[in-house]
Chain A
Amino acid sequence: MGLLNQRFENGNVLLTSVDDVLAWGRLSSLWAMQFGLACCAIEMMATGASHYDLDRFGTFFRSSPRQADVMIVAGTVTLKMASRIKTLYDQMAEPRYVLSMGSCANCGGPYWEHGYHVLKGVDRVIPVDVYVPGCPPRPEALMEGLLKLKEKIRKERLILKQTA
Chain B
Amino acid sequence: MDATLTEVEKGRRPTTIPGLGRALRTEEMVISMGPQHPSTHGVLRLDIVVDGEIVADVIPRIGYLHRCFEKHCEHMANYQQVIPYVDRLDYVAAMSNEFGYVVAMEKMLKIQVPERVEYIRVIMAEFSRIVSHLIAIGTYGLDIGAWTPFLYCMRDREHVLDIFEETCGARLLYNYMWIGGLSHDVKPTFKDKVLEFCKYFRPNIKELNDLLSYNKIFIDRTASVGVLPGDVAVNFGVSGPVLRGSGVQWDIRKNDPYSIYNRFDFDIPFGKGEKGKVGDCWDRYMVRVHEMEQSVNIIEQAAKQLPEGDVQSAIPKRISPNASGPRRVRYTCAPRPRRASWGTTSYPTGEVDR
Residue ranges of A at the interface with B (Cβ–Cβ < 8 Å): 34-39, 41-43, 45-46, 49-51, 63, 65, 75-76, 78, 80-81, 84, 88, 110-111, 113-118, 135-136, 138
Give the segment of B51-59, B67-75, B263-271, B288-296 that binds chain A.
B67-75
Using known A-B contacts A37-B43, A84-B36, determine if residue A110 contacts B84 with beta carbons closer than 8 Å: yes
> CB distance B68 to A49 under 8 Å?
no
Min distance, Cβ B77 to any Cβ of chain A, angstroms: 12
> CB distance A42 to B135 under 8 Å?
yes
| B63 touches A (CB below 8 Å) | yes
| B317 touches A (CB below 8 Å) | no
Q: Which residues of A contact B72 (CB under 8 A)?
A: 110-111, 113-115
> Which of these, A34, A36, A46, A111, contacts B67 with CB under 8 Å?
A111
> CB distance A110 to B172 under 8 Å?
no
**Bound Cα distance from A35 to B39, whole angstroms:** 10
A-B interface pairs (CB < 8 A), number:
99
Min distance, Cβ B137 to any Cβ of chain A, angstroms: 13
> CB distance B65 to A49 under 8 Å?
no
Min distance, Cβ B88 to any Cβ of chain A, angstroms: 6
**Chain A residue nearest to B92 in the complex (CB):** A42
| B287 touches A (CB below 8 Å) | no
Q: Which residues of B contact A81 (CB under 8 A)?
A: 35, 43, 64-65
| B60 touches A (CB below 8 Å) | no
> Which of these, A34, A35, A76, A113, contacts B75 with CB under 8 Å?
A113
> Which of these, B63, B71, B92, B172, contacts A80 with CB under 8 Å?
B63
For window 151-166 of B, CB contacts with A under 8 Å fall at: 151-152, 154-155, 157-158, 161
Using known A-B contacts A49-B151, A50-B151, determine if residue A117 contacts B172 with beta carbons closer than 8 Å: no
**Bound Cα distance from A41 to B43, whole angstroms:** 11
> CB distance A41 to B173 under 8 Å?
no
Given A36-B41, A116-B68, 16 other A-B residues pairs in contact with their CB atoms under 8 A? A37-B42, A39-B173, A41-B41, A49-B150, A50-B151, A51-B154, A51-B155, A78-B66, A80-B64, A81-B64, A113-B72, A115-B68, A115-B72, A117-B68, A118-B68, A136-B173
Q: Which residues of B contact A38 (CB under 8 A)?
A: 42-43, 65, 67, 88, 91
**Bound Cα distance from A51 to B99, whole angstroms:** 28
Can you identify 5 A-B contacts, CB atoms within 8 angstroms? A42-B91, A46-B154, A84-B35, A110-B88, A114-B72
> Which of these, A34, A75, A113, contacts B38 with CB under 8 Å?
A34
> CB distance B68 to A51 under 8 Å?
no
| B85 touches A (CB below 8 Å) | yes
> CB distance B158 to A46 under 8 Å?
yes
> Which of these, A39, A46, A51, A78, contacts B64 with CB under 8 Å?
A78
Using known A-B contacts A51-B155, A110-B84, determine if residue A36 contacts B65 with beta carbons closer than 8 Å: no
**Bound Cα distance from A110 to B92, whole angstroms:** 18
> CB distance B154 to A50 under 8 Å?
yes
Q: Which residues of A contact B35 (CB under 8 A)?
A: 81, 84
> CB distance A117 to B43 under 8 Å?
no
Most buried by A among B43, B88, B157, B173: B43
Min distance, Cβ B81 to any Cβ of chain A, angstroms: 10
Using known A-B contacts A78-B67, A117-B66, A118-B67, determine if residue A35 contacts B36 with beta carbons closer than 8 Å: yes
Q: Which residues of A contact B173 (CB under 8 A)?
A: 39, 135-136
Min distance, Cβ B30 to any Cβ of chain A, angstroms: 18
**Bound Cα distance from A88 to B150, whole angstroms:** 26
Q: Which residues of B contact A110 (CB under 8 A)?
A: 72, 84-85, 88
**Bound Cα distance from A114 to B85, whole angstroms:** 12
Min distance, Cβ A64 to any Cβ of chain B, angstroms: 9
Using known A-B contacts A42-B135, A81-B35, A136-B173, determine if residue A115 contacts B91 with beta carbons closer than 8 Å: no
**Bound Cα distance from A115 to B171, whole angstroms:** 25
**Chain A residue nearest to B39 in the complex (CB):** A63
Q: Nearest 10 pairs between A and B by C-beta?
A: A49-B154, A39-B91, A63-B38, A50-B151, A51-B158, A50-B155, A81-B64, A114-B71, A115-B68, A114-B72
Q: Which residues of B contact A76 (CB under 8 A)?
A: 65, 67
> Which of these, A45, A84, A117, A138, contacts B154 with CB under 8 Å?
A45
> CB distance A36 to B64 under 8 Å?
no
